[in-house]
Amino acid sequence: MAEIVVKIPAELEMGIKDLGKEELSRIVSEALKERLSEEYMFKLADEVLKESKLTDELASKLGDELKERVARRHEL
């Protein structure tokens, strides 16, 4: 397993001192996994949408139409 050095800002040092090494490692690992997952999903979405001909204007129009249909269906 790879190791990463994490620099902790001064304002977080007090809270981190109360955590054990394993707990801190778990927290950082979970945060890193979540952030990497988000980055991957955005890259994947960009790749899928690269060839899209959908404009912001058309997307907005479709969104408005969908809102109206949902409102009618739920009698709002």
Rounded to two decimals, the pTM is: 0.57
Give the model's pLDDT for residue 31.
95
Residue listed under structure tokens 């709002």: 76
Q: How far apart are CA 65 and CA 76, in angstroms?
A: 14
Whether residue 1 has pLDDT greater than 90: no
Task: Note the pLDDT tens digit of each residue in 9-44.
Answer: 999 888 888 888 899 999 999 999 999 999 999 999
Enter the DSSP assignment of 9: P
Rounded to 5 degrees, φ, ψ at 19 are -85, 150
Domain coordinates in residue numbering, the chain:
10-73
Rounded to 5 degrees, φ, ψ at 71 are -60, -45
Give the model's pLDDT for residue 64.
96
Task: Note the pLDDT tens digit of each residue in 39-69.
Answer: 999 999 999 888 888 888 999 999 999 999 9
